[in-house]
Amino acid sequence: MSKEYVAFVRIPDSLTGTISQLKQRAESSLVRDAKLSPGDRTEAVRFENLHATIDQIATAAMLDKEAHCFISDDSEVARYVSEKSGITVLSSADSADGHLPNEVRSWLTSGGVVVELLLPHGSGTVEGHVNNDTPPIAPAKRWKSSATGVRAAAKERFEDTVISALQSKTGNSSISPSGVSNRVLTDTLHKYCGVQANHIRRDVPVVYRDGSSGPEFPLGALNMREPSWKDPQILRFTLLSIRHVEMDSLVDGAWLRNTRISRSREAGLTDRIVFDQSRRQLKSLDLTTPTVIEMYQTGLETAIIGFYRAVALHLLDHPGTIAVRPMFFVGGSRFEPSRRIWAT
């Protein structure tokens, strides 16, 4: 059995200048990180690299035979250190911290520089309680597709998760749009976002492949119908800019900026950004004029989920004001209108 220890390493005087410089650069990186856009990890990566260098120097100093190192196996000290955020370089300003061992505080009082290191694999025993009366967790129910092709199986699987979420008695089921094609995702959501005869409305969690979550999606909520407007306003958008520049002369604009949406970040965060922006833009439309939006879209799951969640909630708040017709990319510069229109 292994146990977590904390090592407090007093840095030799010859290296304190280097550690202080690395600490200052790491602190500056944290300040810059707080000013970045959501999902931009540039400074986070820089901070991690700087702190990895600090840890490497401390580890090398700890292995020196003449090193000053205090190792604590106190679980409370280990928990306190593991929960701290920021930089684990201690100086005289930290000498009053009551969680620190007395020997470490005396080093700091005398002007020493100390680095905290977590040692997760030390030898020892961990107290625990085993309940022999609790049976093992049953294996998950196997799902098997009746389809013969990969795309058809993916469609069937996604639809099955949506149905399971609607039928869930506990309300803890979720849907996962990761890897689902543009058309399947949009049409399936349309089908089950409409009022269902045998199911009540459920706001279902959306969980992506990377483990992140977006806002809940309303299923079984809308009375979908084809609009009967005579002269509606028609607006044409590409869902994301840059994806199909040949469409620029045919559309009124891009709903989302590709440079902002297609960044490396958690999928759930991208979903939320798309959703929030779409809600604002839909609310900015003139609700006294019926509007048909033709949305030319390609497959970015987070953009599709975020946009149509915003559409669904807008239709719940303002029924009969807008209609959205998806336009699916079919190759070259060709798009095909969906047979399912989002309207109430």
Domain of 171, in residue numbers: 150-219
Supply the pLDDT for residue 76.
80
Last residue of a domain, one of 123, 139, 171: 123
CB-based contacts of 244: which residues, under 8 Å, 6+ apart? 238, 296, 298, 329, 333
Mark whether 246 and 194 lie in a shared domain: no
**132 lies in some domain:** no
Name the phi and psi angles at 249, rounded to 5. Answer: -80, -10
pLDDT at res. 73: 79
Indicate if 33 and 109 belong to the same structural domain. yes
Q: Are residues 6 and 118 in the same domain?
A: yes
User: Same structural domain for residues 6 and 116?
Assistant: yes
Number of domains in the chain: 3
Q: What percent of the chain has pLDDT above 90? A: 49
Of 186, 219, 252, the residue at which a domain comes to its end is 219
Do both 112 and 37 map to the same domain? yes
Q: Does residue 224 sit within a domain?
A: no
Looking at the fold, whether 56 and 6 belong to one and the same domain comes out as yes
Say yes or no: 171 and 246 in one domain: no
Buried/exposed 80-91: b ≥16 CB within 10 Å, e otherwise: ebeeeeebbbbe
If asked whether residues 15 and 72 sit together in one domain, one would say yes
Is 103 among the domain residues?
Answer: yes
Per the domain annotation, does 334 fall within a domain?
yes
Chain Cα centroid distance, residue 135: 34
Q: Is position 145 within any domain?
A: no
User: Domain end: 169, 192, 219, which one?
Assistant: 219
Q: Are residues 10 and 113 located together in one domain of the fold? A: yes
Based on the fold, state whether residues 194 and 248 are members of the same structural domain. Answer: no
153-178 pLDDT tens trace: 888 999 999 988 888 877 678 999 99
Residue 2 pLDDT: 66
Identify whether 136 is part of a domain.
no
* Residues 194 and 300 reside in one and the same domain: no
Task: Tell me the H-state helices in the chain.
Answer: 13-33, 42-62, 75-82, 102-109, 150-167, 182-193, 258-261, 267-283, 301-317
pLDDT, tens digit (0-9, with 9 covering 90-100), for 271-285? 999 999 999 999 999
In total, the chain counts a number of residues equal to 344
- Tell me if 250 is assigned to some domain: yes
The residue to which tokens 């390609």 are assigned: 298
Residues 187 and 210 in one domain: yes
Classify residue 226: in a domain, yes or no.
no
pLDDT in tens, 13-47: 899 999 999 999 999 999 998 888 777 788 989 99
Low-confidence ranges of the chain (pLDDT < 50): none
* pLDDT given for residue 271 in this prediction: 95
